[in-house]
Chain A
Amino acid sequence: MSAPLLEVENLRVSFPTPAGRVDVVKGLSFTLGRERLGIVGESGSGKSMTGRAILRLIRSPGRQSADRLVFDGIDLQAQSERGMRKLRGARISMIMQDPKFSLNPVMTVGDQIAEALKTHESLARKDVGARVLEMLHSVRINDPERVIGLYPHEVSGGMGQRIMIAMMLIPQPDLLIADEPTSALDVSVQAQVLDLIDELVREKGMGLILISHDLNLVARYCDRILVMHAGQVVESCAAADLYQATHPYTRGLLAAVPKMEETRDELPVLDRSEWSGT
Chain B
Amino acid sequence: MTAISLKNLDISYGPTKVVQGVNFDVAEGESFALVGESGSGKSTVLKAIAGLAPEWTGEISVLGEARSHTVDRGFATRCQMVFQDPYGSLHPRKSVDTVLSEPLMIHGLGNRNQRVIDMLAAVGLDQRFRFRFPHQLSGGQRQRVAIARALMLEPKVMLLDEPTSALDVSVQAEILNLLKRLRREQGLTYLMVTHNLPVVSFMCDRMAVMNKGRIVEIAPASALYDGNFSDPYSQSLYAASGGNPDRKDIA
What is the interface of chain A, defined by CB distance below 8 A to chain B? Answer: 15, 17-18, 40-44, 48, 97-98, 100-101, 141-142, 146, 154-160, 162, 180, 183-189, 191, 213-215, 252-253, 256-262, 264-270, 272, 275, 277
Contacts and interface: CB of A to CB of B under 8 A. Distances in A.
A162 B237 CA distance: 19
Given A157-B38, A258-B202, A269 B170 contact: yes
B169 interface: yes
13 contacts: A15-B136, A157-B38, A158-B38, A162-B38, A186-B237, A186-B240, A188-B237, A213-B172, A252-B170, A256-B169, A258-B196, A260-B242, A277-B138
A158 B180 CA distance: 26
B69 interface: no
Given A43-B141, A189-B37, A260-B198, A157 B168 contact: no
Contacts of A260: 197-198, 201, 224-225, 241-243
A161 to B, nearest CB: 8
A232 to B, nearest CB: 16
B200 to A, nearest CB: 9
Interface of B: 13, 16, 35-39, 42-43, 84-85, 87-88, 124, 126, 128, 136, 138-141, 161-162, 165-174, 176-177, 180, 195-199, 201-202, 224-225, 236-237, 240-243
B139 A42 contact: no
A259 B197 CA distance: 8
B174 A262 contact: no
Given A43-B140, A184-B84, A260-B242, A189 B202 contact: no
A43 B171 contact: yes
Q: Could you say which of A154, A158, A214, A264 has the most chain B C-beta atoms within 10 Å of its C-beta?
A: A158
Contact of B169 (A100, A158, A184, A213): A213
Contact of A159 (B38, B87, B162, B171): B38
B219 to A, nearest CB: 14
A259 B37 contact: no
Contact of A48 (B13, B36, B138): B138
A140 B209 CA distance: 19
Contacts of A189: 37-38
B192 to A, nearest CB: 13
A256 B202 CA distance: 12
A43 B139 contact: yes
B170 A157 contact: no
Given A100-B85, A215-B169, A262 B201 contact: yes
A189 B37 CA distance: 8
Contacts of B161: 157
Given A158-B38, A267-B173, A180 B198 contact: no
A272 B197 CA distance: 27
B13 A154 contact: yes
A187 B195 contact: yes
Q: Could you say which of B166, B169, B173 has the most chain A C-beta atoms within 10 Å of its C-beta?
A: B169
